[in-house]
Structure 1
Amino acid sequence: MRATNHLIGLLNFLTFLLSIPIIGGGIWLSTRANSTDCLKFLQWPIIVIGVCIMVVSLAGFAGACYRNTMLMWVYLFVMFFVLAALVGFIIFAYAVTDKGSGRSLLNRAYFDYYLQDYSGWLEERVASDSYWGKIASCVRDSKACAKMGVTVNGVPETSDMFYRRRLNSIQSGCCKPPTECGFTYMNETVWTSSGGVVYNPDCNLWSNDQSQLCYSCSSCKAGVLASIKKSWRKVSVINIVVLIILVIVYVIGCAAFRNNRRMDNDESYGQARMTKARPSSIQF
Protein backbone atom coordinates (compact mmCIF):
# COMPACT_ATOMS: atom_id res chain seq x y z
CA MET A 1 0.00 0.00 0.00
CA ARG A 2 3.02 2.28 0.02
CA ALA A 3 2.39 2.74 -3.69
CA THR A 4 -0.94 4.37 -2.82
CA ASN A 5 0.80 6.98 -0.69
CA HIS A 6 3.32 7.66 -3.42
CA LEU A 7 0.51 8.01 -5.94
CA ILE A 8 -1.44 10.47 -3.80
CA GLY A 9 1.75 12.42 -3.20
CA LEU A 10 2.35 12.63 -6.94
CA LEU A 11 -1.25 13.63 -7.64
CA ASN A 12 -1.17 16.31 -4.96
CA PHE A 13 1.96 17.73 -6.52
CA LEU A 14 0.05 17.78 -9.81
CA THR A 15 -2.85 19.51 -8.04
CA PHE A 16 -0.40 22.06 -6.68
CA LEU A 17 0.68 22.79 -10.24
CA LEU A 18 -2.96 22.97 -11.37
CA SER A 19 -3.69 25.61 -8.75
CA ILE A 20 -1.38 27.92 -10.68
CA PRO A 21 -3.72 28.29 -13.71
CA ILE A 22 -6.64 28.86 -11.31
CA ILE A 23 -4.79 31.71 -9.64
CA GLY A 24 -3.67 32.85 -13.09
CA GLY A 25 -7.31 32.92 -14.19
CA GLY A 26 -8.15 35.10 -11.21
CA ILE A 27 -5.27 37.44 -11.99
CA TRP A 28 -6.42 37.58 -15.62
CA LEU A 29 -9.91 38.54 -14.44
CA SER A 30 -8.27 41.19 -12.28
CA THR A 31 -6.49 42.71 -15.27
CA ARG A 32 -9.76 42.61 -17.20
CA ALA A 33 -11.48 44.31 -14.28
CA ASN A 34 -8.97 47.13 -14.43
CA SER A 35 -9.15 47.60 -18.19
CA THR A 36 -12.17 46.05 -19.91
CA ASP A 37 -14.81 44.33 -17.78
CA CYS A 38 -14.49 46.95 -15.04
CA LEU A 39 -16.19 44.87 -12.34
CA LYS A 40 -13.56 44.43 -9.68
CA PHE A 41 -14.98 41.97 -7.15
CA LEU A 42 -15.35 38.94 -9.42
CA GLN A 43 -11.71 37.84 -9.41
CA TRP A 44 -11.26 37.48 -5.65
CA PRO A 45 -13.28 34.27 -5.08
CA ILE A 46 -11.32 32.38 -7.72
CA ILE A 47 -7.97 33.69 -6.44
CA VAL A 48 -8.84 32.62 -2.87
CA ILE A 49 -9.93 29.17 -4.07
CA GLY A 50 -6.70 28.79 -6.06
CA VAL A 51 -4.54 29.72 -3.06
CA CYS A 52 -6.48 27.29 -0.84
CA ILE A 53 -5.95 24.48 -3.34
CA MET A 54 -2.23 25.27 -3.44
CA VAL A 55 -1.86 25.20 0.36
CA VAL A 56 -4.04 22.12 0.85
CA SER A 57 -2.19 20.26 -1.89
CA LEU A 58 1.08 20.82 -0.05
CA ALA A 59 -0.49 19.42 3.13
CA GLY A 60 -1.77 16.38 1.23
CA PHE A 61 1.61 15.88 -0.42
CA ALA A 62 3.41 15.93 2.93
CA GLY A 63 0.80 13.75 4.61
CA ALA A 64 0.95 11.08 1.91
CA CYS A 65 4.73 10.99 1.54
CA TYR A 66 5.49 10.96 5.27
CA ARG A 67 2.44 8.93 6.33
CA ASN A 68 1.31 11.75 8.62
CA THR A 69 -2.25 10.83 9.47
CA MET A 70 -3.04 14.22 11.00
CA LEU A 71 -1.95 16.10 7.88
CA MET A 72 -3.96 13.72 5.71
CA TRP A 73 -7.03 14.27 7.90
CA VAL A 74 -6.64 18.06 7.64
CA TYR A 75 -6.08 17.71 3.89
CA LEU A 76 -9.28 15.70 3.35
CA PHE A 77 -11.34 17.90 5.65
CA VAL A 78 -10.29 21.19 4.07
CA MET A 79 -10.28 19.86 0.51
CA PHE A 80 -13.93 18.85 0.89
CA PHE A 81 -14.89 22.48 1.50
CA VAL A 82 -12.55 23.70 -1.24
CA LEU A 83 -14.26 21.36 -3.71
CA ALA A 84 -17.66 22.54 -2.50
CA ALA A 85 -16.59 26.17 -2.93
CA LEU A 86 -15.26 25.50 -6.43
CA VAL A 87 -18.49 23.74 -7.43
CA GLY A 88 -20.47 26.64 -5.99
CA PHE A 89 -18.40 29.19 -7.89
CA ILE A 90 -18.81 27.32 -11.18
CA ILE A 91 -22.58 27.03 -10.71
CA PHE A 92 -22.79 30.70 -9.71
CA ALA A 93 -20.72 31.81 -12.70
CA TYR A 94 -22.93 29.95 -15.15
CA ALA A 95 -26.16 30.95 -13.41
CA VAL A 96 -25.49 34.71 -13.44
CA THR A 97 -24.22 34.65 -17.05
CA ASP A 98 -26.91 32.33 -18.38
CA LYS A 99 -28.99 34.89 -20.26
CA GLY A 100 -28.10 37.45 -22.86
CA SER A 101 -26.09 37.65 -26.05
CA GLY A 102 -25.56 39.99 -28.96
CA ARG A 103 -28.13 40.36 -31.72
CA SER A 104 -27.00 39.78 -35.28
CA LEU A 105 -27.58 42.57 -37.79
CA LEU A 106 -28.22 42.68 -41.50
CA ASN A 107 -25.09 43.61 -43.46
CA ARG A 108 -23.07 44.02 -40.27
CA ALA A 109 -20.24 41.82 -38.99
CA TYR A 110 -20.68 43.05 -35.41
CA PHE A 111 -23.56 42.56 -32.99
CA ASP A 112 -25.77 45.04 -31.17
CA TYR A 113 -26.42 44.57 -27.46
CA TYR A 114 -29.63 45.26 -25.55
CA LEU A 115 -29.95 45.42 -21.78
CA GLN A 116 -33.39 43.81 -21.82
CA ASP A 117 -31.79 40.61 -23.12
CA TYR A 118 -30.02 40.24 -19.76
CA SER A 119 -31.53 39.65 -16.35
CA GLY A 120 -30.68 38.45 -12.89
CA TRP A 121 -28.24 39.43 -10.18
CA LEU A 122 -25.35 40.45 -12.42
CA GLU A 123 -27.52 42.62 -14.66
CA GLU A 124 -29.01 44.39 -11.65
CA ARG A 125 -25.57 44.99 -10.19
CA VAL A 126 -24.04 46.37 -13.39
CA ALA A 127 -27.07 48.50 -14.29
CA SER A 128 -27.49 50.01 -10.82
CA ASP A 129 -26.63 53.69 -10.55
CA SER A 130 -24.27 53.07 -7.64
CA TYR A 131 -22.08 50.78 -9.74
CA TRP A 132 -22.53 52.04 -13.27
CA GLY A 133 -20.89 55.41 -12.64
CA LYS A 134 -17.65 53.67 -11.65
CA ILE A 135 -17.92 51.12 -14.46
CA ALA A 136 -18.55 53.79 -17.10
CA SER A 137 -15.58 55.77 -15.84
CA CYS A 138 -13.44 52.63 -16.03
CA VAL A 139 -14.56 51.92 -19.62
CA ARG A 140 -13.81 55.53 -20.57
CA ASP A 141 -10.36 55.39 -18.98
CA SER A 142 -9.57 52.12 -20.78
CA LYS A 143 -9.54 54.08 -24.08
CA ALA A 144 -11.43 51.24 -25.76
CA CYS A 145 -13.24 53.68 -28.03
CA ALA A 146 -10.19 55.82 -28.75
CA LYS A 147 -8.39 52.71 -30.00
CA MET A 148 -11.07 51.95 -32.60
CA GLY A 149 -9.65 54.25 -35.25
CA VAL A 150 -8.31 52.44 -38.32
CA THR A 151 -6.61 53.89 -41.38
CA VAL A 152 -5.87 52.21 -44.69
CA ASN A 153 -2.87 53.67 -46.50
CA GLY A 154 -3.24 56.76 -44.36
CA VAL A 155 -6.94 57.15 -45.20
CA PRO A 156 -9.65 56.60 -42.54
CA GLU A 157 -11.78 53.53 -43.12
CA THR A 158 -15.07 53.94 -44.94
CA SER A 159 -18.47 53.04 -43.55
CA ASP A 160 -18.53 49.79 -45.54
CA MET A 161 -15.18 48.80 -44.07
CA PHE A 162 -16.41 49.65 -40.57
CA TYR A 163 -19.57 47.58 -41.01
CA ARG A 164 -17.41 44.55 -41.83
CA ARG A 165 -15.39 44.85 -38.62
CA ARG A 166 -15.94 42.39 -35.77
CA LEU A 167 -16.23 44.78 -32.87
CA ASN A 168 -16.09 43.47 -29.34
CA SER A 169 -19.10 44.03 -27.10
CA ILE A 170 -17.63 47.12 -25.40
CA GLN A 171 -16.85 48.80 -28.72
CA SER A 172 -20.26 47.96 -30.16
CA GLY A 173 -22.27 48.92 -27.09
CA CYS A 174 -20.36 51.96 -25.82
CA CYS A 175 -18.51 53.51 -28.76
CA LYS A 176 -21.26 53.81 -31.37
CA PRO A 177 -25.03 54.36 -31.37
CA PRO A 178 -27.35 51.37 -31.79
CA THR A 179 -27.84 50.46 -35.43
CA GLU A 180 -31.62 50.93 -35.22
CA CYS A 181 -31.08 54.65 -34.59
CA GLY A 182 -30.24 55.01 -38.28
CA PHE A 183 -27.38 57.45 -37.68
CA THR A 184 -24.97 58.26 -40.50
CA TYR A 185 -21.38 57.10 -40.14
CA MET A 186 -18.72 59.82 -40.17
CA ASN A 187 -15.95 57.91 -38.44
CA GLU A 188 -15.74 55.20 -35.78
CA THR A 189 -16.95 57.44 -32.95
CA VAL A 190 -18.69 60.29 -34.78
CA TRP A 191 -22.21 59.74 -36.13
CA THR A 192 -24.85 62.21 -37.29
CA SER A 193 -28.56 61.87 -36.70
CA SER A 194 -30.83 61.41 -39.69
CA GLY A 195 -33.60 63.26 -37.89
CA GLY A 196 -36.08 60.41 -38.11
CA VAL A 197 -38.36 59.15 -35.37
CA VAL A 198 -36.56 56.76 -33.03
CA TYR A 199 -37.97 54.62 -30.24
CA ASN A 200 -34.75 53.52 -28.58
CA PRO A 201 -33.86 55.88 -25.68
CA ASP A 202 -30.17 55.25 -26.38
CA CYS A 203 -30.49 57.22 -29.62
CA ASN A 204 -31.13 60.38 -27.61
CA LEU A 205 -28.32 59.57 -25.19
CA TRP A 206 -25.68 59.30 -27.92
CA SER A 207 -23.18 62.17 -28.05
CA ASN A 208 -20.31 62.89 -30.41
CA ASP A 209 -18.48 64.32 -27.41
CA GLN A 210 -15.63 61.82 -27.08
CA SER A 211 -15.92 61.90 -23.30
CA GLN A 212 -19.61 60.96 -23.47
CA LEU A 213 -20.32 58.82 -26.57
CA CYS A 214 -22.78 56.12 -25.43
CA TYR A 215 -21.38 55.55 -21.94
CA SER A 216 -24.80 56.35 -20.45
CA CYS A 217 -26.62 54.03 -22.86
CA SER A 218 -28.26 50.76 -21.93
CA SER A 219 -26.39 49.25 -24.87
CA CYS A 220 -23.11 50.05 -23.12
CA LYS A 221 -24.28 48.28 -19.97
CA ALA A 222 -25.28 45.30 -22.10
CA GLY A 223 -21.88 45.36 -23.80
CA VAL A 224 -20.13 45.24 -20.42
CA LEU A 225 -22.35 42.32 -19.36
CA ALA A 226 -21.48 40.46 -22.57
CA SER A 227 -17.77 41.03 -21.93
CA ILE A 228 -18.08 39.78 -18.34
CA LYS A 229 -19.99 36.72 -19.53
CA LYS A 230 -17.26 35.85 -22.02
CA SER A 231 -14.51 36.26 -19.41
CA TRP A 232 -16.31 34.21 -16.78
CA ARG A 233 -17.09 31.39 -19.19
CA LYS A 234 -13.42 31.11 -20.17
CA VAL A 235 -12.32 30.87 -16.54
CA SER A 236 -15.12 28.41 -15.73
CA VAL A 237 -13.89 25.97 -18.38
CA ILE A 238 -10.50 25.85 -16.63
CA ASN A 239 -12.22 25.43 -13.28
CA ILE A 240 -14.30 22.48 -14.51
CA VAL A 241 -11.21 20.64 -15.76
CA VAL A 242 -9.41 21.26 -12.46
CA LEU A 243 -12.50 20.20 -10.49
CA ILE A 244 -12.61 16.81 -12.23
CA ILE A 245 -8.94 16.19 -11.44
CA LEU A 246 -9.40 17.34 -7.84
CA VAL A 247 -12.28 14.91 -7.31
CA ILE A 248 -10.10 12.04 -8.56
CA VAL A 249 -7.28 13.13 -6.26
CA TYR A 250 -9.70 13.42 -3.35
CA VAL A 251 -10.99 9.87 -3.82
CA ILE A 252 -7.45 8.50 -3.92
CA GLY A 253 -6.65 10.65 -0.90
CA CYS A 254 -9.41 8.93 1.06
CA ALA A 255 -7.82 5.58 0.19
CA ALA A 256 -4.40 6.82 1.31
CA PHE A 257 -5.88 8.09 4.57
CA ARG A 258 -7.40 4.68 5.32
CA ASN A 259 -4.06 3.09 4.45
CA ASN A 260 -2.22 5.34 6.91
CA ARG A 261 -4.66 4.47 9.68
CA ARG A 262 -4.19 0.76 9.06
CA MET A 263 -0.43 1.13 9.22
CA ASP A 264 -0.71 3.16 12.41
CA ASN A 265 -2.70 0.27 13.88
CA ASP A 266 -0.03 -2.22 12.76
CA GLU A 267 -2.27 -3.65 10.05
CA SER A 268 0.19 -4.85 7.46
CA TYR A 269 -0.67 -3.87 3.87
CA GLY A 270 -4.36 -3.55 4.56
CA GLN A 271 -4.87 -7.06 5.97
CA ALA A 272 -6.92 -7.28 9.12
CA ARG A 273 -5.01 -8.39 12.18
CA MET A 274 -5.60 -12.05 12.91
CA THR A 275 -5.51 -13.51 16.37
CA LYS A 276 -4.87 -17.11 17.19
CA ALA A 277 -7.56 -18.74 19.24
CA ARG A 278 -6.36 -20.63 22.28
CA PRO A 279 -8.45 -23.00 24.40
CA SER A 280 -9.13 -21.58 27.78
CA SER A 281 -8.10 -23.56 30.82
CA ILE A 282 -10.84 -24.42 33.22
CA GLN A 283 -10.01 -24.64 36.87
CA PHE A 284 -11.88 -27.15 38.94
Structure 2
Amino acid sequence: MTAKPNPAPTPAMPEPAAGRFATLTFARDVAAPLPVLWQAWTAPAARAVWAAPTPAVVVEFIEADTRVGGREVSLCKVDGAPDIRCECGWLELEPAVRAVNYEVVSIAGAAQSAALVTADFSGSDARSRLVVTVQLSALAKEPVRDMAAGYRQGFEAGLGNLAGVAARTMLLERVIRAPRAAVWNAWMNPLTLPQWWGPDGFSCRTQRIDLRAGGEWVFDMIAPDGTVFPNHHRYGEVRPQERIAYALLWGENGPKHADAWASFEDEDGATRVRLGMVFSTEAEFQTAKGFGAIELGLQTLGKLARFVGAP
Protein backbone atom coordinates (compact mmCIF):
# COMPACT_ATOMS: atom_id res chain seq x y z
CA MET A 1 0.00 0.00 0.00
CA THR A 2 1.36 3.38 -0.96
CA ALA A 3 1.90 5.73 1.96
CA LYS A 4 0.01 8.97 1.84
CA PRO A 5 2.02 12.13 2.17
CA ASN A 6 1.69 13.98 5.49
CA PRO A 7 -0.71 16.88 5.23
CA ALA A 8 0.63 20.37 5.65
CA PRO A 9 0.54 21.43 9.33
CA THR A 10 -2.51 23.41 10.28
CA PRO A 11 -1.61 27.01 11.18
CA ALA A 12 -2.04 27.80 14.87
CA MET A 13 -5.33 29.55 15.43
CA PRO A 14 -5.71 32.29 18.00
CA GLU A 15 -7.54 31.27 21.13
CA PRO A 16 -11.27 32.09 20.78
CA ALA A 17 -12.32 35.24 22.51
CA ALA A 18 -14.51 33.24 24.89
CA GLY A 19 -11.40 31.46 26.10
CA ARG A 20 -10.00 34.72 27.44
CA PHE A 21 -12.81 35.29 29.91
CA ALA A 22 -14.04 33.65 33.10
CA THR A 23 -16.60 34.43 35.79
CA LEU A 24 -15.82 33.47 39.37
CA THR A 25 -18.14 33.67 42.36
CA PHE A 26 -17.20 33.63 46.05
CA ALA A 27 -19.43 33.69 49.12
CA ARG A 28 -18.49 34.16 52.74
CA ASP A 29 -20.50 34.32 55.97
CA VAL A 30 -18.92 36.62 58.53
CA ALA A 31 -19.44 36.79 62.30
CA ALA A 32 -19.68 40.58 62.34
CA PRO A 33 -22.42 43.20 61.86
CA LEU A 34 -23.04 44.44 58.34
CA PRO A 35 -21.63 47.98 58.89
CA VAL A 36 -18.42 46.46 60.25
CA LEU A 37 -18.03 44.14 57.25
CA TRP A 38 -18.60 47.09 54.90
CA GLN A 39 -15.88 49.11 56.62
CA ALA A 40 -13.52 46.12 56.58
CA TRP A 41 -14.05 45.84 52.81
CA THR A 42 -13.72 49.54 51.97
CA ALA A 43 -11.60 51.33 54.61
CA PRO A 44 -7.97 51.48 53.37
CA ALA A 45 -6.51 50.84 56.84
CA ALA A 46 -8.58 47.67 57.19
CA ARG A 47 -7.87 46.52 53.63
CA ALA A 48 -4.15 46.83 54.34
CA VAL A 49 -4.55 44.34 57.21
CA TRP A 50 -6.30 41.55 55.25
CA ALA A 51 -5.11 42.11 51.66
CA ALA A 52 -2.07 39.80 51.70
CA PRO A 53 -3.24 36.23 50.88
CA THR A 54 -0.39 34.57 52.79
CA PRO A 55 2.29 35.68 55.28
CA ALA A 56 4.88 35.30 52.48
CA VAL A 57 3.24 38.18 50.58
CA VAL A 58 3.73 41.81 51.57
CA VAL A 59 1.17 44.27 50.20
CA GLU A 60 2.33 47.88 49.97
CA PHE A 61 -0.39 50.47 49.39
CA ILE A 62 0.81 53.37 47.25
CA GLU A 63 -2.51 55.14 46.79
CA ALA A 64 -5.96 54.66 48.30
CA ASP A 65 -8.99 56.81 47.58
CA THR A 66 -12.19 54.95 48.43
CA ARG A 67 -14.87 56.95 46.70
CA VAL A 68 -16.60 56.69 43.36
CA GLY A 69 -14.02 57.72 40.77
CA GLY A 70 -11.16 57.15 43.20
CA ARG A 71 -8.55 54.44 42.83
CA GLU A 72 -6.32 52.20 44.90
CA VAL A 73 -2.84 51.15 43.82
CA SER A 74 -0.89 48.44 45.62
CA LEU A 75 2.20 46.28 45.10
CA CYS A 76 2.30 42.62 46.06
CA LYS A 77 5.85 41.69 46.99
CA VAL A 78 7.27 38.17 47.28
CA ASP A 79 10.96 37.45 47.82
CA GLY A 80 12.62 36.36 44.59
CA ALA A 81 9.71 37.37 42.35
CA PRO A 82 8.86 40.57 40.49
CA ASP A 83 6.37 42.89 42.13
CA ILE A 84 2.76 42.53 41.07
CA ARG A 85 0.97 45.85 40.65
CA CYS A 86 -2.77 46.02 41.23
CA GLU A 87 -4.82 49.07 40.30
CA CYS A 88 -8.38 49.20 41.58
CA GLY A 89 -10.87 51.87 40.52
CA TRP A 90 -14.12 52.34 42.44
CA LEU A 91 -17.17 52.50 40.18
CA GLU A 92 -20.05 52.12 42.65
CA LEU A 93 -20.22 52.39 46.44
CA GLU A 94 -23.64 51.87 48.03
CA PRO A 95 -22.87 51.57 51.74
CA ALA A 96 -23.55 48.12 53.22
CA VAL A 97 -25.24 47.06 49.97
CA ARG A 98 -22.88 46.91 46.99
CA ALA A 99 -19.38 47.88 45.88
CA VAL A 100 -18.15 47.64 42.30
CA ASN A 101 -14.60 48.18 41.13
CA TYR A 102 -12.37 47.40 38.21
CA GLU A 103 -9.01 45.77 38.79
CA VAL A 104 -5.97 45.67 36.49
CA VAL A 105 -3.02 43.44 37.42
CA SER A 106 0.38 44.01 35.81
CA ILE A 107 3.96 42.75 36.12
CA ALA A 108 6.94 44.83 34.97
CA GLY A 109 4.58 47.24 33.21
CA ALA A 110 2.78 44.51 31.22
CA ALA A 111 -0.92 44.08 31.98
CA GLN A 112 -1.76 40.49 32.88
CA SER A 113 -5.47 40.67 33.58
CA ALA A 114 -8.44 42.95 34.01
CA ALA A 115 -11.50 42.24 36.09
CA LEU A 116 -14.80 43.70 37.16
CA VAL A 117 -15.39 42.93 40.85
CA THR A 118 -18.89 43.19 42.30
CA ALA A 119 -19.36 42.73 46.05
CA ASP A 120 -22.91 42.33 47.41
CA PHE A 121 -23.57 42.65 51.14
CA SER A 122 -26.43 41.46 53.32
CA GLY A 123 -26.87 40.63 56.97
CA SER A 124 -28.01 41.67 60.41
CA ASP A 125 -26.77 43.10 63.69
CA ALA A 126 -24.79 39.94 64.45
CA ARG A 127 -23.84 38.25 61.19
CA SER A 128 -23.36 39.29 57.59
CA ARG A 129 -22.78 37.75 54.20
CA LEU A 130 -20.59 38.80 51.30
CA VAL A 131 -20.97 37.51 47.73
CA VAL A 132 -18.21 38.54 45.31
CA THR A 133 -18.46 38.10 41.55
CA VAL A 134 -15.28 38.48 39.49
CA GLN A 135 -15.61 38.88 35.72
CA LEU A 136 -12.06 38.13 34.63
CA SER A 137 -10.31 38.85 31.33
CA ALA A 138 -6.84 37.45 30.63
CA LEU A 139 -4.65 39.99 28.83
CA ALA A 140 -1.40 38.01 28.79
CA LYS A 141 -0.60 34.77 26.97
CA GLU A 142 -1.28 32.72 30.08
CA PRO A 143 -4.51 30.70 29.57
CA VAL A 144 -7.44 32.16 31.42
CA ARG A 145 -7.97 28.85 33.23
CA ASP A 146 -4.54 29.23 34.84
CA MET A 147 -5.17 32.86 35.68
CA ALA A 148 -8.59 31.99 37.06
CA ALA A 149 -6.99 29.39 39.31
CA GLY A 150 -4.66 32.05 40.70
CA TYR A 151 -7.55 34.45 41.23
CA ARG A 152 -9.57 31.76 42.94
CA GLN A 153 -6.73 30.92 45.30
CA GLY A 154 -6.03 34.59 46.06
CA PHE A 155 -9.66 35.56 46.63
CA GLU A 156 -10.42 32.53 48.81
CA ALA A 157 -7.42 33.36 51.01
CA GLY A 158 -8.19 37.09 51.04
CA LEU A 159 -11.84 36.59 51.97
CA GLY A 160 -10.80 34.25 54.74
CA ASN A 161 -8.52 37.00 56.05
CA LEU A 162 -11.32 39.54 55.64
CA ALA A 163 -13.71 37.42 57.73
CA GLY A 164 -11.10 37.20 60.48
CA VAL A 165 -10.45 40.95 60.38
CA ALA A 166 -14.16 41.83 60.48
CA ALA A 167 -14.65 39.53 63.48
CA ARG A 168 -12.10 41.54 65.49
CA THR A 169 -13.01 45.02 64.25
CA MET A 170 -14.65 47.60 66.50
CA LEU A 171 -16.53 50.41 64.78
CA LEU A 172 -17.73 53.57 66.52
CA GLU A 173 -19.74 56.34 64.85
CA ARG A 174 -21.10 59.72 65.83
CA VAL A 175 -22.65 62.56 63.89
CA ILE A 176 -21.24 65.81 65.28
CA ARG A 177 -23.21 68.98 64.61
CA ALA A 178 -20.21 71.00 63.51
CA PRO A 179 -18.41 71.64 60.20
CA ARG A 180 -15.92 69.02 59.12
CA ALA A 181 -13.04 71.52 59.21
CA ALA A 182 -13.74 72.28 62.88
CA VAL A 183 -13.87 68.59 63.83
CA TRP A 184 -10.71 67.81 61.86
CA ASN A 185 -8.82 70.73 63.39
CA ALA A 186 -9.77 69.67 66.92
CA TRP A 187 -8.46 66.16 66.19
CA MET A 188 -5.28 67.02 64.32
CA ASN A 189 -4.06 69.97 66.41
CA PRO A 190 -1.37 68.89 68.91
CA LEU A 191 -2.62 71.51 71.36
CA THR A 192 -6.26 70.46 71.32
CA LEU A 193 -6.20 66.66 70.83
CA PRO A 194 -4.93 65.95 74.36
CA GLN A 195 -7.63 68.20 75.81
CA TRP A 196 -10.53 65.97 74.79
CA TRP A 197 -9.05 62.54 74.01
CA GLY A 198 -10.22 59.68 76.22
CA PRO A 199 -13.40 58.66 78.04
CA ASP A 200 -15.23 60.81 80.58
CA GLY A 201 -13.06 61.62 83.59
CA PHE A 202 -9.77 60.63 81.87
CA SER A 203 -6.95 63.07 81.11
CA CYS A 204 -3.86 62.90 78.89
CA ARG A 205 -0.24 63.57 79.75
CA THR A 206 1.80 64.03 76.56
CA GLN A 207 5.47 63.21 76.15
CA ARG A 208 5.78 63.74 72.39
CA ILE A 209 3.22 64.62 69.75
CA ASP A 210 3.66 64.97 65.98
CA LEU A 211 0.37 64.59 64.14
CA ARG A 212 1.51 63.94 60.57
CA ALA A 213 2.20 60.94 58.36
CA GLY A 214 5.19 59.21 59.91
CA GLY A 215 4.66 61.05 63.20
CA GLU A 216 3.67 59.75 66.62
CA TRP A 217 1.95 60.58 69.87
CA VAL A 218 3.47 59.16 73.04
CA PHE A 219 1.25 59.83 76.06
CA ASP A 220 -0.30 58.51 79.23
CA MET A 221 -4.01 58.24 79.78
CA ILE A 222 -4.84 58.86 83.42
CA ALA A 223 -8.02 57.39 84.86
CA PRO A 224 -10.15 59.18 87.44
CA ASP A 225 -8.62 56.98 90.18
CA GLY A 226 -5.09 57.94 89.09
CA THR A 227 -4.28 54.71 87.21
CA VAL A 228 -1.83 55.42 84.35
CA PHE A 229 -2.21 53.72 80.97
CA PRO A 230 0.83 54.29 78.69
CA ASN A 231 -0.07 54.77 74.99
CA HIS A 232 1.80 55.21 71.74
CA HIS A 233 0.11 56.10 68.44
CA ARG A 234 2.12 55.81 65.22
CA TYR A 235 0.58 57.68 62.29
CA GLY A 236 0.57 56.27 58.78
CA GLU A 237 -1.76 57.96 56.32
CA VAL A 238 -3.03 61.49 56.96
CA ARG A 239 -5.48 62.69 54.34
CA PRO A 240 -6.59 66.20 55.41
CA GLN A 241 -10.25 66.45 56.45
CA GLU A 242 -10.89 62.91 55.16
CA ARG A 243 -9.13 60.23 57.20
CA ILE A 244 -6.15 59.21 59.27
CA ALA A 245 -4.65 55.78 59.94
CA TYR A 246 -2.50 54.87 62.91
CA ALA A 247 -1.21 51.94 64.95
CA LEU A 248 -1.99 51.63 68.67
CA LEU A 249 0.84 50.35 70.87
CA TRP A 250 0.89 49.43 74.54
CA GLY A 251 3.28 52.13 75.74
CA GLU A 252 6.24 53.64 73.91
CA ASN A 253 7.48 51.15 71.28
CA GLY A 254 5.46 48.44 73.01
CA PRO A 255 3.51 45.64 71.30
CA LYS A 256 0.87 46.71 68.81
CA HIS A 257 -2.66 45.88 69.87
CA ALA A 258 -4.67 47.45 67.03
CA ASP A 259 -4.62 49.15 63.64
CA ALA A 260 -6.99 52.10 63.68
CA TRP A 261 -8.48 54.71 61.41
CA ALA A 262 -10.76 57.71 61.69
CA SER A 263 -12.79 59.08 58.79
CA PHE A 264 -14.66 62.37 58.49
CA GLU A 265 -17.63 62.93 56.13
CA ASP A 266 -19.97 65.85 55.54
CA GLU A 267 -23.57 65.05 56.42
CA ASP A 268 -26.19 67.80 56.06
CA GLY A 269 -23.92 70.46 57.52
CA ALA A 270 -22.67 68.14 60.24
CA THR A 271 -19.76 65.67 60.31
CA ARG A 272 -20.02 61.91 60.54
CA VAL A 273 -16.98 60.55 62.36
CA ARG A 274 -16.14 56.86 62.12
CA LEU A 275 -13.49 55.41 64.37
CA GLY A 276 -12.44 51.87 63.47
CA MET A 277 -10.00 49.53 65.20
CA VAL A 278 -8.80 46.14 63.97
CA PHE A 279 -7.44 44.40 67.06
CA SER A 280 -4.37 42.22 66.64
CA THR A 281 -6.20 39.13 67.91
CA GLU A 282 -9.81 38.21 68.51
CA ALA A 283 -8.93 37.59 72.16
CA GLU A 284 -7.83 41.24 72.50
CA PHE A 285 -11.04 42.32 70.78
CA GLN A 286 -13.16 40.31 73.20
CA THR A 287 -11.18 41.62 76.17
CA ALA A 288 -11.70 45.20 75.00
CA LYS A 289 -15.43 44.63 74.57
CA GLY A 290 -15.53 43.06 78.00
CA PHE A 291 -14.16 46.11 79.79
CA GLY A 292 -16.51 48.44 77.92
CA ALA A 293 -14.31 49.77 75.10
CA ILE A 294 -17.33 50.51 72.91
CA GLU A 295 -19.02 52.64 75.56
CA LEU A 296 -15.74 54.32 76.51
CA GLY A 297 -14.96 55.06 72.86
CA LEU A 298 -18.37 56.64 72.35
CA GLN A 299 -17.69 58.79 75.42
CA THR A 300 -14.48 59.95 73.72
CA LEU A 301 -16.41 60.98 70.61
CA GLY A 302 -18.90 62.72 72.87
CA LYS A 303 -16.08 64.74 74.43
CA LEU A 304 -14.94 65.70 70.91
CA ALA A 305 -18.45 66.89 70.11
CA ARG A 306 -18.60 69.01 73.25
CA PHE A 307 -15.13 70.40 72.58
CA VAL A 308 -16.20 71.80 69.19
CA GLY A 309 -19.39 73.19 70.74
CA ALA A 310 -21.80 70.64 69.32
CA PRO A 311 -24.89 69.62 71.36
- TM above 0.5: no
Higher strand share: 2
Query: Under a length normalisation based on structure 2, what TM-score does the superposition of the two structures give?
Result: 0.22
- Which structure has the larger Rg over C-alpha atoms? 1
Instruction: Identify the structure with bigger relative contact order (alpha carbons < 8 Å, sequence gap 6+).
Output: 1
